[in-house]
Amino acid sequence: MSTHLSRARRVSMAAGVALAGLVLASCGGGDLDEKDASEPIQIGLIEPMSGPFADNGTQADRGASLCVEQINEAGGIAALDGAQLQLVKQDTGNAQPAQVANQAQSLIDNNDLSAMIGAWASSYTLAIAPVMEQNGMPLLTESFADDIVAQGYQFIFKIPAAASVMGEQGVTVVLDLAEANNYDISKAAMVTENTSSAQVSAAGAVGMLESRGIEITGEEYFAPGLTDANSLAIKVLAGDPDFLFAQGGLADMKILQEALAAQGYEGPILGSGSALVNPHYFSTVGEPANGAFTSAGWNWDLPGAEEFVKQFTEANEEFDFPGQEAGEDCVAVYAIAAALEEAGSRDPKAVRDALSTISITEGPGSMVANGALEFEDNGALKDATPVIVQWQDGKPRTVFPEDIATAEPIFTQ
Amino acid sequence: MDTLANVIVSSILLGGVYFILSLGLNIILGVLDIVNFAHGALIILGAYSTFLINRALHWDPFILVLVDMVVVGVIGAVLYLCYLRFTVNSPLVRMFALIGFNSVVAALLLIFMGSDYRTVPIDLGTWYLGPIPIRVTQVIAFAFAIALGVITIVLLNRTKVGKAVKAVTDDRTSVQLAGINDRRLSLLAFTVGAGLAGAAGGIISTYVTFGSESGLAFAIIAFAIVIVGGLGDIWGGAVASLLVALVLTGVTVYLSSALTNTALFLLVLFVLLVRPRGILGRGRV
Query: Is residue B135 within 8 angstroms of chain A, CB to CB?
Result: yes
Share of chain A above pLDDT 90, in %: 63
Average pLDDT over residues B8-36: 90
Instruction: Please give, rounded to a whole number of angstroms, the shortest distance from the CA of B9 to a CA of chain A.
Output: 11
Can you tell me the distance from the alpha carbon of A222 to that of B252, in angstroms, rounded to the nearest whole number?
A: 9
Is residue A1 scored above 60 in pLDDT? no
Same domain, A271 and A400: yes
Residue A221 and residue A174 share a domain? yes
pLDDT in tens, A375-411: 999 999 999 988 999 999 999 999 988 899 999 888 7
Q: Do A222 and B10 touch (CB under 8 A)?
A: no
| In-domain check, residue A17 | no
Pairwise CB contact (< 8 Å): A221 & B115:
no
Q: How far apart are the first and last CA of chain A?
A: 89
Q: Is residue A123 part of a domain?
A: yes
> What type of residue is A328?
E
The closest CB to that of A254, out of B134, B209, B253, belongs to: B209
Residue A336 above 90 pLDDT? Answer: yes
Cβ A231–B10 below 8 Å, yes or no?
yes
- Under the banding of pLDDT at 50, 70 and 90, the label for residue A126 is very high
This prediction's pTM: 0.78
ω into residue A163 within 30 of 0, thus cis? Answer: no
For chain B, the domains span: 13-214
Q: Total domain count for chain A?
A: 2
Residue of B nearest to A219 (CA): B256
Cα distance between residue B198 and residue B204, in whole Å: 10
A257 and A397 share one domain: yes
Q: What was the pLDDT predicted at B270?
A: 95
The verdict on A93 and A218 lying in the same domain is no
Q: Do A321 and A281 share a structural domain?
A: no
In a domain, A292, yes or no: yes
- Binary contact (B256, A220; C-beta < 8 A): yes
Per-residue pLDDT tens for A53-62? Answer: 888 899 999 9
> Per-residue pLDDT for B223 more than 80?
yes
Is residue B274 classed as helix, strand or coil in its secondary structure?
helix
Cβ atoms A315, A66 nearer than 8 A:
yes
- pLDDT, tens digit, for every residue of A30-88? 466 667 778 999 999 999 998 778 888 999 999 999 999 999 999 999 999 999 999 99
B17, B149 in Cβ contact below 8 A? no
Q: Which letter does DSSP use for residue A240 in this model? A: -
Other C-beta atoms within 10 Å of A119: how many? 31
- Tell me the β-bridge partners of A375: A381
Q: What is the pLDDT of residue A25?
A: 46
Rounded Cα distance between A144 and A197, Å, is 6
Shared domain for A218 and A155, answered yes or no, is no
Overall average pLDDT of the B150-163 stretch = 86
Read off the pLDDT of each residue in B181-187 and give the average, rounded to a whole number.
Answer: 81
Number of H helices, E strands in chain B: 11, 2
Q: Do B7 and A51 touch (CB under 8 A)?
A: no
Residues whose CB is less than 8 angstroms from the CB of residue B285 and which lie 6 or more positions away in sequence, other chains included: B231, B276, B277
Q: Are A191 and A244 a contacting pair, CB within 8 Å?
A: yes
Most confident of A131-140, A257-266, B34-43: A131-140
Q: Categorize the per-residue pLDDT at B253 as very low, low, confident or very high, splitting at 50, 70 and 90.
A: very high
Q: What distance in Å separates the CA atoms of residue B83 and residue B57, rounded to the nearest whole number?
A: 33
**Distance (Å) of CA A9 to CA A3, A4, A15, A18, A23:** 12, 10, 10, 14, 21
Report pLDDT digits (tens) over A100-118.
999 999 999 999 999 999 9
Residue pair A112/A347 in contact by the 8 Å Cβ criterion: no
- Which domain CATH number covers A290? 3.40.50.2300
What range defines the domain where residue A58 resides? 36-161+303-382
Average pLDDT, chain A: 89
In this structure, the answer to whether residues A370 and A393 fall within a common structural domain is no
Task: Determine the Cα–Cα distance for residues A178 and A275; give it in Å rounded to an integer.
Answer: 23
B138 contacts A268 by C-beta, under 8 angstroms: no
Interchain pair B117, A284: CB under 8 A: yes
Q: Are A138 and A115 in contact (CB under 8 A)?
A: yes
Q: What does DSSP assign to residue A77?
A: B
- What CA–CA distance (Å, rounded) separates B104 from B97? 10
Put simply, the chain B residues between 216 and 245 with a CB less than 8 A from any chain A CB are 217-218, 221
Instruction: Give yes or no: residues A268 and A336 share one domain.
Output: no
- Is any Cβ of chain A less than 8 angstroms from the Cβ of B214? yes
CA distances from A402 to A3, A18, A178, A272, A395 (A): 77, 63, 16, 18, 18
| CA contacts within 13 A on the Cβ side of A133 | 14
The reply to whether A147 and A224 lie within a common domain is: no
User: Does residue A268 share a domain with residue A371?
Assistant: no
Contact of B259 with A194, CB cutoff 8 Å: no
Calculate the alpha carbon distances from A14 to A5, A27, B120, B275 in Å.
Answer: 12, 20, 69, 71
Q: What is the full DSSP assignment across A111-151?
A: S-EEEEEE--SHHHHHHHHHHHHHHT--EEE----GGGGSS
Q: Are B117 and A250 in contact (CB < 8 Å)?
A: yes
Chain A and chain B share a number of CB contacts under 8 A equal to 94
Q: Is B257–A258 a contact, with Cβ atoms under 8 angstroms apart?
A: no
Residue B174's pLDDT is: 77
Do A394 and A378 sit in the same domain of this protein?
no
The CA R_g of chain A, rounded to the nearest whole Å, is 24
**Does some domain include residue A196?**
yes
Residues A200 and A349 in one domain: no
Residue among A58, A221, A231 minimizing CB distance to B115:
A58
Could you tell me the CA-to-CA distances from A354 to A148, A343, B4 in Å, in that order? 20, 6, 61
**Starting at the edge strand that comes first in sequence, how are the strands of the sheet with A187-193 ordered?**
A215-222, A187-193, A243-247, A269-272, A293-296, A387-392, A395-400
